[in-house]
Structure 1
Amino acid sequence: MKPEMENSIKPFVIVTPRLIIIPTPTAVSINSYRSLYSSLHANVAFCEMAFGHHFPPRTWTDEETRDVIQTRDIERCWGRRDLGDFAVALLPSAFQTDSCMELSIVKGGICERLFNQIGLDDLQWVGYAGVRDATTTSLPPREAADPALPPWQEMIEVRYGISPEFWGQGLAKEAARAIMQWSVDEKGVRRFIAETERGNSRSGKLLQKLGFTPSGTDYWKEPSEIEWECPKSHLH
């Protein structure tokens, strides 16, 4: 299949030794990815780990899934900063490598040929990961007494969600690190932030492996959460 872009973003993918990482403006048109995305948000273990009490599990229809991806990510994130979520899949074994290569950006005609070679609907999707400007997406409204925020390039939130069957394999770290490096190199990002539920030690350990440390900020104003930060110089 040949996916269609949902906005003006030119087709590209990020390739790591084990993964193919596709922007959701492309991936939203892939039936098998939408199915995986829907199943994640209906999975009790996934929702408890990723969202705590903020997002109870729910089963979406395919139409609802596409609408959620379109409005929450493509319009709100990609449409504003050219940053957002990526669909994450395992590369077919013939394309995987033991190379120490961190990542490769595949664009244009080469990207189209890669899509045709691997068959996107046949990929084994494992989840999603992404970066977004928190000041225009997830932060609560600012109040007069709140301190001024840094520039948006220093307020880039890291997100990830991996299917429980793939937990413990380092895939979230591999995907998030590649996307973070891409955003530094291609978009001029200077600092990353994140938030985790206090009981979510799994995500906290992952963030530490990526170079994050607890920030002590209160951007999200949520006592049940720990906030983190990672300057680009701390990328692991």
Structure 2
Amino acid sequence: MSEFTSMAFGSAWGVKDWDESSIAPIIAREVQNSWRVRGMGDFAVGARECGSATGMLEKWKVLREDEIQKLEDVKWIGYVGVRDATTTSMAVGDTSQPTTRPWQQMIELRYGFHPEVWGKGFGTEAAKAIMGWCGKYIGAERFIAEIEIENLGSGRVLSKMGFEEIEKEKEVIWGMEGTKEWKIWVGR
């Protein structure tokens, strides 16, 4: 689990040993704040067996809205989400003024996956799906993302999808040391 936590949140985050009573209020707050304001947030990503006797992760597919899946038949492998970053994004050294960009241009793409599925295309597929949904139903104009510099896999995922590194001389979103910031415009 420490590999997943470090990959998802950076090596400085550390592994937390939380029980359900300590994490439940945090999750409830985050879900409520994300979904209530803009109608977007995080989704769990699971792999399911699709007629293969050789293993759950060898064959998989995205469920259609009309398909039913028993939760106990899913192997949970990570998360993907989007959120309005205008409430979390501020220029370096400025903690009083959020960005002046419209929120549709500041939609943060977030994801994290268990190490056993790294390099198998799950991140790219899940990110493409959530970005397509967000563009169609939320009106996304631009997505942004931040990764730890040492997280080369996440950089490859973003690059494959057409994201470009943000030039720090022209724009700073989070300005966290040890990170790279990325962007992609929808439909350009």
- Which bracket does the TM-score occupy, shorter chain normalised? 0.7 to 0.9
Which of 46, 52, 75 is 1:89 aligned to?
Answer: 46
Partner of 1:130: 81
Partner of 2:144: 193
Q: Report which of the two has the higher share of helix.
A: 1
- Where does the alignment leave 5 or more consecutive residues of structure 1 unmatched? 1-42
Which of 29, 32, 49 is 2:7 aligned to?
Answer: 49
**How has the CA–CA distance of structure 1 residues 210 and 64 changed in structure 2, closer, same or farther, with 3 Å as cutoff?**
farther
TM-score normalised over the length of structure 2: 0.82
SS in 1 for 2:136: helix
Partner of 1:168: 119
Tell me how far 1:219 sits from its aligned partner: 1.2
Partner of 2:165: 214
- Counterpart residue type for residue 188 of structure 1: G
SS in 2 for 1:193: strand
Point out the more displaced range, 195-204 or 125-134: 195-204
1:157 partnered with 2:114: no
Residue-pair matches, total: 177
1:79 partnered with 2:36: yes
Q: What's the C-alpha RMSD, in Å, of the aligned pairs?
A: 2.7
TM-score normalised over the length of structure 1: 0.67
Tell me how far 1:125 sits from its aligned partner: 0.9
Q: Percent same amino acid among aligned pairs?
A: 37
- Counterpart residue type for residue 24 of structure 2: R
Matched ranges for 1:4-43 at <5 A: 43=1
Partners in 2 of 1:68 and 1:167 — Cα distance? 27
Tell me how far 1:148 sits from its aligned partner: 4.8
Partners in 2 of 1:197 and 1:188 — Cα distance? 28
Partners in 2 of 1:119 and 1:148 — Cα distance? 42
- Counterpart residue type for residue 64 of structure 1: S
- Where does the alignment leave 5 or more consecutive residues of structure 2 unmatched? none
Which of 17, 28, 31 is 1:70 aligned to?
Answer: 28
- Counterpart residue type for residue 187 of structure 1: I
